[in-house]
Amino acid sequence: MVLCACEARTEPKKREAISPADRGSVSWLDSEDSSTWTESDRPFLLFLHAERSPWSRLMIQDVFTDQEVAREIGRITRPVWIDADLRPDLVDRFGLGSIPGLGVLTRDLTWITGSGFMGREDVVDLLRRIRILHDIPERRTDLERARARLLRRRPIPSGAWARTATRSDILSRLSGAVDAADHPSIEARLWSVERGASDGGAWAEAIRKGMDAADGPIVDGGLDDLAAERDPTVSLARNAGILYGLAGIAANRQSEELASVAAQLYLRVTERLYDEASGLFLAGDVSTADSSGTAYKVDLRTPTAENALMVSAICLLETVRPIEDSRVVGLGVLDRLIAIRLVDDTVVRVDSIRSAPQIADAAHLARACIDAAAAFGDDRYRQTARSIIDRATESLVRTEAGVNPWEGFHPIGADNLYGSGVGVMGQVLLRLRVDDSDESTEALVDQVCREAVAREPERLARLGAVGRSLDSFGRE
């Protein structure tokens, strides 16, 4: 029945690989490789991009291939090339909600300014302003005075309250922020359903309409205004997050109707992005279809967290709407991730020795292992989850920055697609408890979740995973 709900294609679309983006004429520092970094008093210029984004490639062509602009960038800034798929933590911390984007930071990583897509003339104007700050030290003093006045008028909210507040107070603030949000995170939507604040029905209907409008998986342009011009890019991150949330809501409510929508989305994502050769889901594609819709370009990378989310979604869907071969696909993906992304119990994001470990990758892979053990009764996955999470919790201890300033970032952070990786880690830790009297585990989860709230006081609506973790004390 589910297979019939997803229309058959008379001719499969042809796929061709997206070639890596040309970096233009700028000599970029690599956020993955600290050996490219040198000491300097110049500000950082961050370029946040995605391989699949047509706008990213347009900005590269329009701005960074220009020799004059490239020379000026190299003279007055330390330009950093940041790939959204490889360093989602940096995009989350310094991006302005869109790709591509620019961020200008001081040497100690204090925000100066930023922007979304910019054309050549706008970048030239931005560089002119940066040059004034760089060449005329007095202007920096003026800038700091202006910044101090602004902070006095509108102080940045402090999250220090979360370190001493009662757990019920934290949950109250988080749930209030989530319920008031126009676009809550996936984990936040799940939490709302678990708390009885929402039934998820309207969201599921928007997903169904989004699939119909896109004639496939959900595109990156959003679900909120289907009549608007949308980004045609298909992202595994977005679709995996939506599928996990939808499958989780269907499982929570034991809803056949919601499970049917989730099954349709699973089939469309699998048709479009599952790669039998690698045994994993691809990062996404950008449509280049002609009038008959027979071609598109695909990003061959396979990020760990998004693949793990697909596995968790399949496991949840299995409890309400099993799909033919989905178990084979799900366990195959999980086994492949464990084989190639788990190195000495440390999880890496992609197949690269320079792939910077992300907390989200470890947390989601560990949760996928637990979900598989619960859905299919294989306790080996539970043991793997324990090994992953034990190593990942060690990395929550902050280390000071060395040559590469990015290495000093605390790994706690929010993610707008599927919540805080720390929140997911907390969920895994609680599910791995031997019994409810494991006070040391509860203390660790409580500590890291409080720290996540303290570090994200302006983005509480995105900490749904943290809310789910704290709310599960005593219920697991």
Kindly list the domain boundaries of the chain, sorted by start residue: 20-153, 161-471
Tokens of 3: 């297979």
Is 11 in a helix, a strand, or coil? Answer: coil
Residue 2 reports pLDDT greater than 50: no
Question: Sorting pLDDT into bands at 50, 70 and 90, what band is 1?
Answer: very low
Q: Which residue type sits at 47? A: F
Report whether 266 contacts 313 (CB < 8 A).
yes
> For position 455, what pLDDT does the model report?
83
Q: Give the contacts of 44 (CB within 8 A, at least 6 positions apart).
A: 77, 78, 79, 80, 103, 104, 105, 106, 107, 109
pLDDT at 459 over 70: yes
Average pLDDT over the chain reads: 84
Q: How confident is the model at residue 436 (pLDDT cuts 50, 70, 90)?
A: low
What was the pLDDT predicted at 4? 42
Least confident residue range of 157-171, 258-272, 314-328, 386-400: 386-400
- CA-based nearest residue to 171, from 196, 195, 199: 195
Task: Choose from 80-89, 174-183, 303-312, 393-402 the range with maximum mean pLDDT.
Answer: 303-312
Return the pLDDT at 399.
47
High-pLDDT (> 70) share of the chain, %: 81
Instruction: List the single range of 5-19, 74-88, 141-155, 436-450 with lowest mean pLDDT.
Output: 5-19
- Percent of the residues in the chain that have a pLDDT greater than 90, as a whole number: 44
CATH class entry, domain 161-471: mainly alpha
Q: What Cα–Cα distance (Å) separates residue 303 from each residue in 38, 337, 437? A: 29, 10, 36
- Between CA 76 and CA 43 the distance in angstroms is 7
Answer whether residue 218 shows pLDDT above 90.
no
**Which two structure tokens, joined as six digits, stand for 138?**
């007095």
Predicted structure pTM score: 0.88
Q: What is the CATH code of the structural domain delimited by 20-153?
A: 3.40.30.10
Give the β-pairing of 274-275 and 280-281: antiparallel
408 — pLDDT class (breaks 50, 70, 90): low
pLDDT in tens, 51-63: 888 889 999 999 9
Q: Are 26 and 76 in contact (CB under 8 A)?
A: no
Q: Specify burial of residue 291 (Cβ count, 10 A radius: 0-12, 13-18, 19+).
A: exposed
- Structure confidence at residue 3 (pLDDT): 41
Examine the pLDDT at 287 and tell me if it is beyond 70.
Answer: no
